[in-house]
A and B are shown apart, each in its own frame.
Chain A
Amino acid sequence: MSDEIIDRSRPGEIEKRAVKAITEADTVDALEEERIRYLGRKGEITELLRSVGRMPVEERPALGNIINNVKRRIEELLETRLEQLASEVQEEVPFPGDPTLPGRSGWQGGPHILHKVLRDVKRIFFGMGYSLAEGPDVELDYYNFEALNFPPDHPSRDLQDTFYINRDILLRTQTSPVQVRYMEKHEPPLRIISPGRVYRNESPDPSHASEFYQMEGLYVDTDVSLGDLRNDVTFFIRSFFGMDAKVRFRPHFFPFPEPSAEVDMSCFGCKGSGCQICGKAGWIEIMGAGMVHPHVFRYAGYDPDAYTGFAFGMGIERIAMLKYGIDDIRRFLANDLRFLRQFWTESWAGVVE
């Protein structure tokens, strides 16, 4: 090195070259050569730092700082590249020669089929403009029965079907109380779904459980009609079970909605000609539905002449059993992993190419 004044662009120029060389070095030895070239005792950066002492005193700190930063960046890059090369080297050591050996694996997990179906159902309704409403499992008799147009001592609220905590408190037998609570706090228009666990005091058998999931929907506005109900319910059924499903409304006398209906869909097993799934009927009952009774509006403080609305409800286990061909409702809470595991695989059925 001569006494010449250091060109201020020199540190940057060295760094540029160093970065390229280090990145391209493909062995540990080659990398060490580069380290010596730039940072060794006679390396370019080392020499450059030394030459700072020959600069005018007032310029030294700034220049030193610049060169030190370049030095640090090169050091860091060397270290990173060394780690990279080292790991590449290690990887080669245990390669067993047979690439078809199984890959390293961990345990598998996944969602429970009930929650998976519930999520799918919720998603369809969210897409239609429904919001979520939730409420307690342990409920007041008032919300579960009285406010829903079940008179006291009515046979349909038979003691046999309800779990009681005491005279006024029970385990909800349906998720409709959520709707009542929601209506107390909100003014129409409203459009909600209320999924949740419900309870019936029934001895379990393959098609009855004492606790299961239900999902109800409610839409209240100034001119909601039976025709609108058919639209929403049909859209849901087709989204969930397939767009070719036919839907029919069969009148039924529920105490809560009026007019009310049971909703059937054409059997996806036989397309209506009769098979084991549908019990030869060609139709499968999917849910109950109907127009909200004016009494329920009065309980909620809505003017029954100003608003109309519809409600529907379905059992989540039931539609899961239908969709996946599950034979016994008790399997859901049995949690046999051999059962649960079958539903972890994602399904792309219905994806249009």
Chain B
Amino acid sequence: MGGGGGMKVSLNWLKRYVEIDEDVDLLADDLSMFGLNVEEVTNLAPDFSGIVFGKVLEVQRHPKADRLSLCTVDAGSGEPLRIVCGAANVRPGLGVPVAVHGAVLPGGFKIKRTKIRGEVSEGMICSEKELMIGEDAEGIMELDFEETPGTSLEGRLGTSDYILDIEVTPNRPDLLSHIGVAREIAALYRRPLGEPERLELAAGSTFDLSVEDGADCPRYTAAFVEDVTIGPSSEWLKNLLTAAGVKPVNNIVDITNFVLMEMGQPLHAFDLDTLRRETIVVRRARKGEDLRTLDGITRELDREILVIADGERPVALAGVMGGSDTEIREGTRRILLESAMFEPRLVRRAKERFRLETEASYRFEREGDIGITLQALERACFLIRELGAGRPVPQYAESLADPGSIGERTVALRTKQANRVMGTHLTSGEIVSLLGRLALGATASGNNVTVSVPTFRRDLREEIDLIEEVARVYGYDNIGRESSSRGTVFATVSPADIRNERICAYLASRSFAEVVTSSFMDPEDPVKFGWGETDPRCRPIEIANPLTAAQSVLRTSLVPGLLGVIQRNSPTEQEGMRIFEYGKTFLRAQSGSGLPNEELHVAAALARKADPLQWIEQQRRVDYFDMKGELEALLDRLGVSTDVRMLPTENDNHPFVYKWVVKGRQLAEGGRIPRHVTGRYGIETPVYYFDLLIDALPVSARGELGYSRTSPYPLVKRDLCLVAGERVAFADIQNVIVRSTKYLESIRLFDYYTGGHLGESKRSYTFRLSFRSKEGTLADSDVDREIEKILSDLNRELQVTLRR
């Protein structure tokens, strides 16, 4: 376990406190539905098949090899098997595990009938190592029980235990212990919970213990053990620790680890004779002090770090790790056992400073149980005495900042409120009994329930916390589905949301593929693009702790992301690349809360071919007017096309890029991405793009439109061929025409040329104008007057003339 937010509990270990008859998978499901999410169940039994109980009948020397024996073994298959064996301890009468033909050993090794040095061997007699249930590879395994030969040994050898990996959220530190999980199982199945045996200690030790600041260390308790004999632990203890993933070390260390895993309270054992003075001071470290921790690394300390000191020097990082000078060793005779409660923030700080996550720090950071520090010492002393590891001293030493902190807390619950939140009709009495199953003492008085919350459930602070427990024990699935809500809330539609969805749907229907790219950007992107220094897109917002350098700033434009998509797709895909993205950009704000300006954009890019390869037409290359046509059609859809003015950008690096401005505000930018820019992204083909700032769309655009009655009168068409100087823009000519006449229904440019007999400085435009009146039929003379007015305005304002 460790930082992953989980606790691995052993099923055998749990059974020490609560009766469990359920199949392990059922237990796991039941626990999950009770709020303890079991993420994985691991069977610790060795994974083999075809291994059976065999009885050795005869043993003879192998004729060709001194070290090998020829054995006859009854493995229940009728005829005894002939097996060649190399172990020295094989002898007649022995019960042994036999891998018969077809058996599979742990690790997947398959047993077959074979010949060894010329003699047939019909199986294998196995060692502990071969079955992966022990380290002994020297001899074959001698079974200490009798069975009918041929009986399968699956589940009979090695540890038979299961590990449940339980997800533990930070507010339930009590579940970081076997007793905590057992308490939930007892509540779940309504069974009694057995408490671990303890050796009761009395107050009154004369040991010199002091805590500098009770806020840093609300409780510190210490017990003492004399006549310590360091040695290996008992098998049962080693087995349980190994199952829970803790490596056995020696009896004292194993007992502290056992209590940690059992009760969730970290203990630390100091070799008392290595303390320079028989004193413990819990204090902040001083600048310049250092400490070599158990892992052999010397840590530099300062006022931010809480330490345990012996009167002269720090001997442990409080709640994280002990020092190597005072650790338990072979010859340790006297020990001090520490069981304390440290301020979670200090433990967290030390953990982060030294990048040192331990079983202890993991629990202290989550604010352990201040009520059990003494019980944990008593439990350890009991085990030390029982296992003959030393002689506990009957008195303990203690520093307790607030005696009230180790008592139970009273929390009130209103039955009516509980029923309101859950949608149930429980009585106060029912609530009391539901809470009682979780070892929470509760009493009912009318519509109120008073609950005594023990220290191991410090997450239960107020009424709502208790309601959650009631709901959980009652069972979420037992809560009725009838609605109790009386109010009615009507949905409101978001016009902006509808507009944005329609923009996306429109572009998709215009055969653009929608893409979604990262909100992050490479700080190199603005450099690659060559946006001007004054361009806000060049000053992206930096992430203090980015994942990678290429994702270290927030995007200021969608366009680099679009280039990334073009670049990552294959050349075949690039052939018809028409993509768009709808999303946010992040620009530095000038003032206010410090939050950036988040702008909503839609940007599109087109590359290579205007249409697919097909038999009916030549493939045309995409050009600037494909992009412009799409943008204009979109603006038209958005009802803003008539208000938009087009201007060049001021950036010399981007010669074919223009901006579209509406009411003084830039609405869009578009054009050809310069070749040197696309080149930097590894794109060979020209890329055209537009980038529309959705937030700049006039809010009123749609609202101003309304139905206008279609005219029943006939249409009059006139073609107009005009000649203009090269400085006159088409857009200006069109604007003048539109402004000049009230009868114009549509205007289309259908011919344009320059050069030739006109000369380089002239351009020719041919328009088809359609006129229609709403009031009546237009006579030729009416239209003639309109044309005259158009021509005179054009001539006066733009020196544009009719081509003769």
Interface membership of chain B positions 119-157, coded 1 if the CB is closer than 8 angstroms to chain A and 0 otherwise: 000000000000000000000000000000000000000
* Residue total for A at the interface (Cβ-Cβ under 8 A): 91
Question: Contact partner of A140 among B515, B551, B595, CB < 8 A?
Answer: B595
Question: Contact partner of B614 among A102, A164, A190, A252, CB < 8 A?
Answer: A102
* Complex contact B348–A110 (CB within 8 A): no
Residues of B within 8 A of A255 (CB): 169-171
Given contacts A107-B611, A126-B491, A223-B420, contact A165 B544 (CB under 8 A): yes
A223 to B352, CA, bound (A): 44
Give chain B interface residues in 504-534, CB to chain A under 8 Å: 504-505, 507-520
By beta carbon, the residue of chain B nearest A195 is B497
A296 to B463, CA, bound (A): 14
Given contacts A225-B485, A230-B479, contact A153 B504 (CB under 8 A): no
Residues of A within 8 A of B568 (CB): 334-336
Give chain A interface residues in 173-224, CB to chain B under 8 Å: 188-191, 197, 199, 201, 203, 210-211, 219, 221-224
Stretch at the interface among A26-34, A35-43, A46-54, A256-264: A256-264
* Complex contact B545–A335 (CB within 8 A): no
Q: Is the interface of B mostly helix, strand, loop or mixed?
A: loop
A130 to B173, CA, bound (A): 37
* Complex contact A262–B37 (CB within 8 A): yes
Residues of A within 8 A of B468 (CB): 251, 258-260
Q: Is B480 an interface residue (CB 8 A)?
A: yes
Residues of A within 8 A of B543 (CB): 163-165, 171
Interface membership of chain A positions 140-157, coded 1 if the CB is closer than 8 angstroms to chain B and 0 otherwise: 100000000000011110
Question: Contact partner of A227 among B365, B484, B565, CB < 8 A?
Answer: B484
Given contacts A102-B614, A137-B598, A337-B573, contact A228 B459 (CB under 8 A): no
A154 to B472, CA, bound (A): 24
Q: Is A111 an interface residue (CB 8 A)?
A: yes
Q: What number of residue pairs across chains A and B have CB atoms under 8 A from each other? A: 256
* Complex contact B476–A76 (CB within 8 A): no
Stretch at the interface among B273-281, B318-326, B576-584, B634-642: B576-584
Residues of A within 8 A of B423 (CB): 225-228
Residues of B within 8 A of A188 (CB): 487
Question: Contact partner of B586 among A129, A138, A230, CB < 8 A?
Answer: A138
Given contacts A129-B489, A250-B32, contact A105 B614 (CB under 8 A): yes
Residues of A within 8 A of B253 (CB): none
* Residue total for B at the interface (Cβ-Cβ under 8 A): 100
Residues of A within 8 A of B32 (CB): 250
B572 to chain A, nearest CB (A): 10
Interface membership of chain A positions 321-349, coded 1 if the CB is closer than 8 angstroms to chain B and 0 otherwise: 00000000000111111101100000000
* Complex contact A226–B504 (CB within 8 A): no
By beta carbon, the residue of chain A nearest B482 is A227
Q: Is B344 an interface residue (CB 8 A)?
A: yes
Residues of A within 8 A of B459 (CB): 253
By beta carbon, the residue of chain A nearest B465 is A258
A136 to B477, CA, bound (A): 37
Question: Contact partner of A164 among B467, B545, B551, CB < 8 A?
Answer: B545
Q: Is A294 an interface residue (CB 8 A)?
A: yes
* Complex contact B464–A211 (CB within 8 A): no
Question: Contact partner of B547 among A210, A224, A248, CB < 8 A?
Answer: A210
* Complex contact B489–A221 (CB within 8 A): yes
* Complex contact B565–A211 (CB within 8 A): no
A142 to B465, CA, bound (A): 23
Residues of B within 8 A of A248 (CB): 33, 476-477
* Complex contact A107–B612 (CB within 8 A): yes
Residues of B within 8 A of A130 (CB): 491
Q: Is B596 an interface residue (CB 8 A)?
A: yes
* Complex contact A131–B492 (CB within 8 A): yes
Give chain A interface residues in 66-92, CB to chain B under 8 Å: 68-69, 72-73, 76
Given contacts A131-B491, A190-B489, contact A104 B513 (CB under 8 A): no
* Complex contact B514–A110 (CB within 8 A): yes
Interface membership of chain B positions 448-483, coded 1 if the CB is closer than 8 angstroms to chain A and 0 otherwise: 000000000001001111011001100011011111
* Complex contact A250–B519 (CB within 8 A): no
A190 to B417, CA, bound (A): 20
A23 to chain B, nearest CB (A): 16
Question: Contact partner of A109 among B483, B513, B541, CB < 8 A?
Answer: B513
Residues of A within 8 A of B421 (CB): 225-226, 259, 291, 308
B550 to chain A, nearest CB (A): 12
* Complex contact A107–B491 (CB within 8 A): no
A197 to B585, CA, bound (A): 12
Question: Contact partner of B612 among A106, A224, A253, CB < 8 A?
Answer: A106
Given contacts A109-B507, A109-B511, A252-B169, contact A138 B596 (CB under 8 A): yes
Which of A119, A225, A262 counts the most B-chain CB atoms under 10 A from its CB?
Answer: A225
* Complex contact A332–B516 (CB within 8 A): yes
* Complex contact A166–B516 (CB within 8 A): no
A162 to chain B, nearest CB (A): 8
A284 to chain B, nearest CB (A): 13
Question: B residues engaging A (CB < 8 A)?
Answer: 32-35, 37, 169-172, 344-345, 348, 352, 365-366, 417, 420-424, 459, 462-465, 467-468, 471-472, 476-477, 479-494, 497, 501, 504-505, 507-520, 541-547, 551, 554, 565, 568-569, 573, 576, 578-579, 582, 584, 586, 593-596, 598, 611-612, 614-617, 714-715, 777, 779
Q: What are some 15 contacts across the A-B interface (CB < 8 A)?
A: A107-B576, A111-B514, A112-B516, A122-B497, A131-B491, A136-B595, A163-B543, A163-B545, A166-B594, A223-B420, A224-B485, A226-B423, A230-B479, A230-B481, A341-B513
Beyond known contacts A115-B516, A155-B365, A293-B464: 19 more, CB 8 A cutoff: A72-B714, A102-B616, A107-B611, A107-B612, A109-B513, A122-B497, A132-B494, A155-B366, A189-B487, A211-B520, A223-B486, A248-B477, A250-B32, A251-B35, A255-B169, A258-B464, A262-B37, A335-B515, A337-B513
